[in-house]
Structure 1
Amino acid sequence: MCGISGVFGTDDPLIASDMISCLSHRGPDGQGYWSDSVNRLGNISFGHSRLAIIDVIGSSQPIQSEHGCVLVQNGEIYNQTEIRESSSYLWKTSGDGEAILAAHFHSIPSPSVIPEPVSGKQNGWYRVSSGVNQALRHVDWVKRLNGMWGFALWDPRYRELILCRDELGIKPLMKWQSDDGSLLFASEAKAFRGHPEYFPKLDTQALFARLAFEYSLDDTSLFSGVSQVRPGTIETWSLDSNGRAVLTGVADYSQIKNSPNLEWNPNNAPQLLHSLRMGLADRLNSDVPVGIVLSGGLDSSMVAALAKDASEIAGKPIPKCWTVSESEDNPDYKAAVEVANSLDLDHHCWTLDEDVFWKRLPSLSWAGEDLDLTVLFFQPLFEQMSKEVKVGICGQGADEIHAGYPRHGNLSGHSNLVSQRLNLIDHPIAENLSSGLLLDNDIIGPGQPWTAPPPKVEDVFCNLENTLNFEMSRGQLTNFQLRLVDRHSMSHGLEVRVPFLSRQHLELSSKLPMDWRFKQGHMEKRALREAAALTNLPRNIVSRPKLPAGTATSPGLINSIINELKPNIIEWNAETPHLAPLLDKMPDIAIGFRLFCSLHLQPNAKSLNTNTDLFSLLDDVEPMELF
């Protein structure tokens, strides 16, 4: 796990080094930089901040291959041993990242002629070629990879930059194109502050969608001009004759979608459980200590229950467990203690300080690049874990696969809530979103921030299958759950892995009938609970209902800070009258939005000023034209 950055075009290649300095928290074990000229048209440069997990002494990046290619990667390739055993590639390291170069080496021969500069024109946020889709030839070799990643690979033979992200978006990869046509990419948006002409601005359409749905949609961020490489896709970029980066292709190598069978028999629960066991075993592969994030909920409890079996399969030590809550009387805290005791697992658990929100909210906002404050417990949790381990295992993704959220039992109510939120935003853009319209259709499509037009709310939540597919492919999983875990764990140099999103488990769970995920009159995650019942977990843990992770962990502390700031919240909301009717009903998000504006929309900050107290940050927000 690491942070990566890069610049492709005529801008100063050293900007990539400045960018990676903004991401030093992602890689405390060293930084690397590489650059080269591109046929006198421009430059390509990579930056890398390393968190050493595999091949701790070796495997520094950027790494160059025997066929002249250069790679920076964030993430882990779990099937690197399989790729090594079937490869004639000349390996330089024992690290997993080199498996990407090996797969590319075997599939992409040298060109018969030297490629000419490409041509393209501005379309949406990026310069785009209208020629042959160059990304398609990379689909087969990328499909060989099994893991989580965001990587950039430079092939000087084709003068081609390849950007790629894992199929579920577990690892981030963001991009921005400067006015002179240089492409910048990085693991987090804050890295673009390393460019002297980057000034963060709010993406109003993305914000309105985020407020209504509770997560950003598609490949948008909250920053105008900054989008993500879409999960499960490959992008190829080359330079035109003026040294400007041009998108020459976008190709899907994987599309995750539910394909439910008509029936499922509980007798198949052992296979479902084993798929999770094997996914966990893969994710225990590490040369450094590993720990389990144990919330006390069903999902993390199942990970803990399978830890000993998976450790034996992987030949690795049994991980310790970690839990934090606002008090020892918290139901999740009690459940986590019961789970660890019943399974005889080492368990670190502690309670949050009463003033934790006042102390840690700025760090939460700066790291998360979002509005949510209910997950504040992530910051102290991951900070404590990082003192002993470099890898964490969590239960993220299970609710999206197995229909674990309360809204899955009341889709019509949730549909009405999302629509009401959009209606409370007093702005034409919100009206457009409700009607499935954007201000500019050019920002819809491959490589652009929107995959498709904004959805009609009633179509998304018309049935459970539509809802789960939407949440997995258009934002909830990638832009909320996985983004939160990545940003907040990596802000403390901790890699978090997600066994519920292993290919083994996804293959089986995607075929589960909808009524084995949720059925009225039954508990949520029906099939998963059948599998959980086969473990050594206490029966009361198997039958515990789902509680929201953030508010369940620290409900009293959240309510306390909202009550303390309530008069100020109303006053602050009035400064953005378009949003005031909605934010008045969402006080936690109102605080998060105000803090986001204070920290992220100021042009000069490259790091968090830890000497400024929370109230000063909230109260001293410069007036700005948000809309």
Structure 2
Amino acid sequence: MCGIAGIFHCGTIKPVDPARVERMSNALAHRGPDGSGVWTAPGVGLGHRRLSIIDLEGSPQPMHSADQRAVIVFNGEIYNYRELRRELAGLGAQFRTDGDTEVILAAWQQWGVECLGRLHGMFAFALYDRHKRELFLARDRLGVKPLFMAPLSDGSMAFASELKGLLAHPLLRREADPLAVEDYLAWGYVPDHRSILKGVEKLPAGTYRLLRHDTPPAAPVRWWDVSFADRRKGRTADLEAELLHHLREAVTSRIVADVPLGAFLSGGVDSSSVVALMSEASRDPVRTCSIGFDVAALDETSYADQVAQLFATDHRARTVSSDQFGEIGTLAAMFDEPFADASALPTWRVCQLARETVTVALSGDGADEALAGYRRHVFHAHEEQARLLLPRTFREGVLGRIGSVYPKADWAPRPLRLKTTLLSLAGSGEEGYANALSVTPTDLRRSLYAPGFRREIGDYRAEDRLVALMAGAPARSSLDRAQYADLKFWLPGDILTKVDRTSMAVGLEAREPLLDHRLVEFAAGLPEGLRVRGLQGKHLLKKAMRRYLPAHILYRPKQGFVTPIAQWLRGPLAAEARAISTSAALARTGWFDAARMSAVAEAHISGRSDHSRLLWQMLMLDRSLRHLGVAS
């Protein structure tokens, strides 16, 4: 795993200062502590930081092709590189290294942009073809690896694995995008179609971009998408066997490394499945690690311990507590953009724990999105059934009115918290799912904004992008559309961003076998009943894993990597919650109503409402603004 950076002049050719490229790549040193390199030519410069995983002594980057025609900097892993290498050698390619980077170069020279469909793995790379005088930027199918870009005032396009690489360039503007703030408050992260800084772009997952010296920058081109439009046929037993085959293939392909390797283990279905299949394929005990919390109701380490004992893993665990809040500034700096998924803190801690003994760790991320494992998928499927049964006039006229006056009742038992469900049933499935996925509802966001900021964002509403994505999805049902939105919107923006930044911050490579694209494509074609059945998601996965895992692991209520932020913000962190409304960084923006923010904090601290996610969002926004030094 690595960090890449570079500069390319579009529409002209100007010299590129190697020192500038070096500064950009050195800002990514945490991603690649094992080596570095810079290459420049008229109009182009490429920088690289290396974390050695395969071919430890060889494969330095930037790497040139055997004929010197092409140069590449690459972040990621190609899991089928050995098979591709044999095929390309049969077609006449010559290789000087034993790694996967040179295989990408040869694949480009043999197949051009079509090489992307042959690469199985996670990647973001920049490849310069010296004959064509063009730069080929590409990102993997699901967006496991990131790539930021920014057109600059001198006519160049700068790019880097993280925003901090662009921040090292003196021509980058540090002006906040108000629409990104609206997106951030809605979702808890800045999604891939936007950046916290005006002018900065993210190459979307599953796209590539070709840049030439003699033309303006071309738009990204989509080279992969997932379709839910067709249903797989066959007996359930056969589909179960096929799923298990994909799972095994995905895990075994990702345990190839020339460095120590292990796995994250939460005790949930997904990570436990990965550990089970790793244990099956490995002669030695799998090294596993887990993180617990100082709030007993949210601590799942006992389940992780059970799975570790079941497969005789070499297991280690630690506890995260509220006294680690002092490192929130470090956490904010990892992400550059504001990022408020509170599970980032324990994810960072488990990465630190893993890095003490391994350089590569497999995770269970991706199964919830691919196989409908979130509670919101189950609720959404049942809500859609209700929408089909109830007349639209009744839903809008009766349920909508009741929902608008029904109390929010965060303090009440879950069955009595009907407000969200009633309002969701009153609208479309797409609107309902967007509301279920959002962190801070539209009305609450608008109530926090200062009048001038409301005028600045106008009628822009963050949820509209997700609603449009679902409406245009290649899908047959509302559940399909919800999962499509998760894979295209939520997964790269939240889950994969979290894992990439926290793992790379400690020089750890995280691999996601449950996001193998063949597994994802197979899962997208499963009948709905094999994804959601009753009140359970991931039905077929749980059936397939019954031979490995006990029922109390497979079928216990899903909890997820929940951080006890609500309790902390009412207890040891209450003072931090109260201080948000007077934060200098937030106050300077003029975006928010300080009195309203103070009221929100007091309502949470008193227990009248649960505003923990919103308060955490504001804390992370405050620290990010300090880190970025942006102008509003």
Q: Answer yes or no: same fold by TM over 0.5.
A: yes
Distance of 2:282 and 2:163 partners within structure 1: 36
Going from structure 1 to structure 2, the CA distance change for 1:395 and 1:208 (only over 3 Å counts) comes to same
Residues 377 and 550, structure 1, Cα contact 8 Å, conserved in 2: no
1:507 is aligned to 2:521:
yes
Q: CA deviation at 1:457?
A: 9.3
Deviation at 1:71, TM superposition (A): 0.6
Q: Report 1:154-553 matches (<5 A).
A: 154-240=128-214, 246-248=216-218, 250-259=220-229, 261=231, 265-267=235-237, 268-311=239-282, 317-327=284-294, 329=296, 330-358=298-326, 360-369=327-336, 370-372=338-340, 374-375=342-343, 376-411=345-380, 412=424, 414-416=433-435, 418=438, 421-423=441-443, 424-425=445-446, 426=449, 427-428=454-455, 432-434=459-461, 455=467, 463-473=478-488, 475-519=489-533, 521-535=534-548, 537-551=549-563
Q: Is the 8 A contact 1:435 1:456 kept in 2?
A: no
Local SS of the residue matching 1:551: coil
Decide which of 574, 587, 590 is 2:615's aligned counterpart: 587
Distance 1:420 1:198 in 2: 31
CA contact 1:419–1:434 (8 Å) conserved in 2: no
Q: Distance in 2 between matches of 1:495 and 1:35?
A: 28
Query: How many angstroms apart in 2 are the aligned matches of 1:299 and 1:582?
Result: 38
- Listed as ranges, the matches of 1:37-116 within 5 Å are 37=42, 43-67=43-67, 68-87=69-88, 88-108=92-112
Alpha-carbon contact 2:190-2:339 (below 8 Å) kept:
no
Aligned residue for 1:114?
none
In the TM superposition, residue 492 of structure 1 has moved relative to its aligned partner by 0.6
Residue in structure 1 matched with residue 25 of structure 2 by the alignment = 20
TM-score normalised according to structure 2 size: 0.80
Aligned residues: 541
**CA deviation after TM superposition for structure 1 residue 388, in Å:** 1.4
The answer to which of 283-292 and 413-422 deviates more is 413-422
Aligned equivalents of 1:435, 1:187: Cα separation in 2: 25
Please give the per-residue CA displacement for 1:203-246, whole angstroms capped at 9, x wherever unaligned: 22122123213443343222221111121112111113xxxx73
Alpha-carbon distance in 2 for matches of 1:355, 1:60: 41
Distance 1:457 1:144 in 2: 27
Indicate conservation of the 8 Å contact 1:169/1:232, yes or no. yes
CA shift at 1:45, angstroms? 0.9
SS of the residue corresponding to residue 376 of structure 2 reads: helix
* Aligned residue type for 2:556: R
Q: Matched residue of 1:377: which SS?
A: helix
The verdict on how the C-alpha distance between 1:296 and 1:201 changes in structure 2, with shifts beyond 3 A counting, is farther
Name the SS for the 1:32 alignment partner.
strand
| SS of equivalent to 1:347 | strand
Deviations 1:156-193 (A, max 9, x none): 10111110010111011110111111111110001112
Aligned to 1:5: 5
User: C-alpha displacement at 1:331, in angstroms?
Assistant: 3.9
Q: Which range is displaced more, 220-229 or 557-566?
A: 557-566
Stretch deviating more after TM superposition (490-499 or 13-22) = 13-22
Q: Distance in 2 between matches of 1:501 and 1:457?
A: 21
Q: 1:264 to 1:597 in 2, by over 3 A?
A: farther
For 1:105 and 1:497, locate their aligned partners in 2 and report how far apart those are by CA, in whole Å.
27
* Cα distance in 1, alignment partners of residues 102 and 151 from structure 2: 28
- Cα distance in 1 for residues equivalent to 2:440 and 2:306: 41
SS at match of 1:530: helix
Change (3 A) 1:260 1:433: farther
Measured after TM superposition, the shift of residue 434 of structure 1 is 3.2
Q: Which has the higher helix share?
A: 2
Mark the runs of 5 or more structure 2 residues left unpaired by the alignment.
381-423, 425-431, 601-610
Q: CA 1:342–1:501 in 2, change beyond 3 Å: closer, same or farther?
A: same
- Cα displacement (A) at 1:271: 2.1
**How far apart, CA to CA, are the structure 2 residues paired with 1:253 and 1:569?**
43
| Distance change >3 Å, CA 296–CA 103, structure 1 → 2 | same
Per the alignment, in what secondary structure is the counterpart of residue 184 of structure 1? strand
In 2, are the aligned partners of 1:192 and 1:198 still within 8 Å (CA)? yes
563 and 436 in structure 1: CA distance in 2 versus 1, 3 angstrom threshold: closer
Change (3 A) 1:530 1:430: farther
Bigger mean CA offset, 416-425 vs 194-203: 416-425
Identity rate, percent: 31
Inter-CA distance 201–550: structure 2 relative to 1 (3 Å threshold):
farther
Return closer, same or farther for 1:601/1:407 CA change in 2, 3 Å cut-off. Answer: farther
Quote how far apart the aligned CAs of 1:522 are.
2.1
Helix, strand or coil: the match of 2:350?
helix
SS at match of 1:324: strand
Amino acid at match of 1:47: G
SS at match of 2:547: coil
* 1:568 counterpart = 2:579: yes
Q: Secondary structure at the match of 2:216?
A: strand
* Contact kept? 1:276, 1:504, Cα under 8 Å: no
Q: Name the Cα RMSD after superposition.
A: 2.7
Distance in 1 (CA, whole Å) between partners of 2:439 and 2:561 is 24
Give the Cα separation in 2 of the matches to 1:589 and 1:264: 46
Q: TM-score w.r.t. structure 1 length? A: 0.81
Q: Is the 8 A contact 2:470 2:484 kept in 1?
A: no
* Contact 2:77 2:123 (C-alpha < 8 Å) held by counterparts: yes
- Separation of aligned partners in 2, 1:460 and 1:582: 37
CA contact (8 A) 1:365 1:373 kept: no
Q: Which amino acid aligns with 1:93?
A: T
| Contact 1:339 1:538 (C-alpha < 8 Å) held by counterparts | no
Structure 1: unaligned runs, 5 residues or longer: 38-42, 109-137, 438-452, 603-623
Task: Give how far 1:105 is off.
Answer: 1.8
Task: Show CA shifts across 1:348-372 (max 9, x none).
Answer: 11223551122x2112111123321
Indicate if the aligned counterparts of 2:285 and 2:312 stay in contact, CA closer than 8 A: no
| C-alpha contact 1:277 1:309 (8 A) present in aligned 2 | no
**Cα pair distance change 1:410/1:222, threshold 3 Å:** farther
Q: Which amino acid aligns with 2:498?
A: L
- How far apart are the structure 2 equivalents of 1:151 and 1:335? 39
